[in-house]
Chain A
Amino acid sequence: MSGVRTLAGIVCVLALATAAPLEARNLTVADVRRIAGQAEQAAQTLGQSRYTVAVVDRVGNVLGVYRRGGASVVTLASGLPVRGGLEKISSSATGLDLAALAAIAKAVTGAYLSSSGNAFSTRTAGYIIQNHFAPGVRFTPGGPLFGVQFSQLPCGDVVQTRNPGARTTIGPRRSPLGLAADPGGFPLYKRGQVVGGVGIVAGARSTYGLDLNPRRPRADLEERIALAAATGYRAAPAIRADRITVAGLRLPYSSSDRQIPRVSRRTPLRAKPIAVAGYTTARPKSGRIIGRIGSGLIRANARNASTALARRGAFILENGRGANRYPARSAAASTGLSRAVVNEILQQALGVANQTRTQIRNPRNARAQVSVTVVDANGRILGLARSADAPLFGIDVAVQKARTATFFSRPDSAARLNRVPAHGIAGIRIPGGAGRVNATRQLLGNVLNGTAFSTRSIGNLARPNFPDGIDGRRPGPLSNGSTWSPFNVGLQLDLVQQRVLRSAISPTRPLRSCTIRPLGLDNGMQIFPGGMPIYRGNRVVGAIGVSGDGVDQDDMVAFLGLQRASRSAVVRGRIGHAPPQRRADQAGLRYVQCPQSPFVSSNQQRVCDGI
């Protein structure tokens, strides 16, 4: 019986996803007010006189932040007994309105991680970024999206307006605190399509952290309010994270399903919208419609991109006036990365994605949807394209991955890291890069001098234990080991921490780069799979970055996409993968891992071996 129900649900989702044109839905001001009103009722029901609710659209525009009872005192704390990084930063000590920032971050996370095939909440995010997957299970490797919390950063160049200082209206938008792992953020749906997200911070004191022990789940106050707020906009059960498995593990969505306060859509809203500097004014807005100019995302066509990309059904980032923010362009001539080559890589990667089985989307065996980018060896974006319904967070992450792969694969990576000095902000000491270089050398020898690192390989080095997940083993050289926490991960945070905090303190003066020295990692580095360096012969000339429907899928789309491009008539082998003897798997790290049952329309396995 319930099999029939599930099937019916899936069919409905499918029907809605295909019947309704993708560009048709958005959150109106009335929707925003309704959601805020439902949050208010739920908070009242639960006896909470102090709360902040943020509503964003799918591309991260903050549509409204409502508050009653003043700002909650928010402390960033993972719950692990460690210090350092962003741990223990609190609104009381810094004077920041962390309640509003945290609510926005949660709302953005709900919107960005979800699609019409998967609804992920901030609880889901908290599950996939921990040092073990499943969290709390010893000896298991880290979560598949380990490190994703430091994407969509408030500094950087991708999720940012092109004109710093101007009123920012173009998505995808930054998140003030990166992606949130603290329960209380959910995606919002209208007729099966993600139209935004809602985030709640409630209580006189609120900890912005994560559920370290999701295997003993407890209902969460903010989650209960957020679910009540999302009444009428909730995800279909068939696409919720708890119907999606990764490596056999079912992802959590909510642990408060049975304790959602009842709300009415007619009860008038009493809370007033507030302005959050750098994010929203005190006037609620309606959400952007993806695909229309002004949303930041439009369908690729021959004029704004290329016919090949248009044929792949790609979307591109637009600048608010319909122009492609990242049209394919050539790197220096010696690199071999001409405009045509970049276009070929992008379209081949999307071609692979269109064949690839998604890992995080229902119905099962759907095609993967991803964001793909190509950068040059300096981290400059040479082109970016994405599938229509790929989760939004992948845009920024794909660029992070590509930049990370090329940064570490350059022969001078050790030297460039060594030049990052120890620094600080507001009394927080941030270590430089030299210690990481030394630790890496101690573990693996002199590998930071031209070894080809994928972001999977870098991820192997950036886990709190090496090998990943094996408790008691020494820390990964790019990680903080015993003082690791999701707020204190190691090099990934060290490189961006100062700029992240500065952006929180001065949100109206956005920074174009998150690093204090130019490293070609302007929007931060990323430490989970999906980025591969591009070589011309023995020389690294750039990288491809992919992010979307599953990390092994990201890996494979990047790996096979680059491989196919390399063999295409356009490229003719001028560029391609790192020579096998240069790859990090020669040094004991994984270079790439393609998923089980990789393709939707065949039962092939092991499609990457020997490449």
Chain B
Amino acid sequence: MQHISLYRRWRPQTFEEVIGQSHITKTLANAIRYNQLSHAFIFCGPRGTGKTSTARILAKSINCEQGPTPNACNQCQSCIQISNGTCLDVIEIDAASNRGIDEIRALRDKIHFSPATVRTKVYIIDEVHMLTTEAFNALLKILEEPPSHVIFVLATTEPNKVLPTIMSRCQRFDFNPISVDVIMRKLRLVAQKEELEIPEDALRLVARHAAGSLRDAEGALEQMASFSGKRITVEDVQTVLGVVDVALLFEAGDLFIEKDAAEALFLVNRLFESGRDLRQFTRELLEHLRILMIIQNVDDPRSILDCSQEEMERYRAQASLLRDGEVQRFLHLFGETYREMRWDSNPRLLLELAMVKAMKVDADDSREALLARLEALESMIEKDRGSGLLRDRPDIASRVVQQKREGREPEESLAPREPAPAHGRAGSSPGPGHAVDLASQKPISFPERPDGAYSQSETTAPTLEPTTPEGKVDITEIKKKWQAILERVREKRIPTHALLLEGSPLDFRNGELTIEFDSIFHIHKEKVEKGEHKRIVEAALAEMTGEAIRIKCVIAAPSSPKPQVESIYQHQETDEESGGKARDETRERATKEVEKETREEEKGDSPKSLKNSVDPIELIKARFKAKVVQKIDLKDEEKLWK
């Protein structure tokens, strides 16, 4: 006996069995019930969504001996004949093979004969988009006013190729791709009837692989059945369908976070040597990145993505460690690579190149990469402004950024830790319970102070001491850390940073920080005080101070002058006045000296007068501007921007 494919064996035979298209089956059933059936339909939709099946069921419903009824009996002569495709009056035409005007003329000649065995002749014209223009036009007149004993059902996957004049003469039904859940339900049923044993995870893999097409899903299930027999495992599915192991994708994602080009190359070659299809890997990597991008941008990603809770958690963890811009860059990069793989015979090289470019922004000359480099530059300058310490040390700056990213999770960066070893995770906070401020995150090797304040033998990363008494957070401390907080916000989300820049901390009590905005920045204020921005600011505050802090935004009274962002130096003085710990003082003096030193060696042209001015921000700005001008000059000389 001939083996019949699952998708043919389990072709739906009644409207109820057509899954995922209730908007269509209900309409048709009701039209039959109330005898309001149109004479021409066009079914549009992607492969495997039930177009041909619905057309046949429609033919049966109309012609069933019990009917016309929405529930064809599937037992009478005509139902059986239609199911078998032997009914003389239900004519299925393959428009793709019979696409010329002659075929349509033949059809037109025969159409006026009354049906031989049943009530209504049904013409099912499948793949109708392949008819030639002449054929389409020849069809127009019959389609508009067919004899009363004729119904047309056209079916196509590409409605855009069907003439509008045809479309307007038909009732159009759009079949939707079927969701993973619905496919799974159907597969479960089929598996049960076929006595296949298949775990839920494997079923999900098959359903996802089908991408909305039930025929693909049932085909894959059948393929599984002939491969594994009655018991199908997840591994079998992965093998037969060539589905990439999710673990590999997460591994790649981790490498993107770590920027480890060598490991990435190892990964590609491991895949290559094991004979994996690199193009498929790239495609699934794109899908993985897409999920990360959605998570980064959508509040409730589960409404878009269908994956289990634990998967979602893993994705979320990875998404939180990548910047959005970065994910977009990867998407562009690998999308391009995926497209090129179509024409290029050397997918390994293409994937390797893409990986290197992903890890090393310098090697990528795309627009997105330039943007990323520009952003890195900006953040370096910003940091410069924040601390004055990282100037001229881009190598360190980028290391700091990376280390901070690694230690982004608040628990981790706030957790008690041993003094960091020289090359270890120098970015982490040294003492228990201390808020991490920017200064303490620098793995800079301070030159040993002559006063021996902290000549701590081997440790190049100095164990910096807290700048405030432990525990309590107060407004002075927040003000002092404001730059660092801004910086943290910037890392989280640049737009939020831009908004927050216009505000300044005013007051802090009962766990609520009041941020003041000048009246001209009322829009900034309104944005910061709600939604995502608020959440980010509060998260940054929590990370930097170690306490949960709510924020409240107010508009400054017009009369009062805009309060200056107070300088680090002023705070240090306050601290000293209030009798901070002796060690703090030493440390601060040290920091100050380092800063002074860097400032002095910086350049002679920095206006000396500004140095003692009240507002050190101005001082920094002046210096910072000078530096940027110089950099641009340099670039101009090299004509790099040409």
Chains A and B bind each other? no
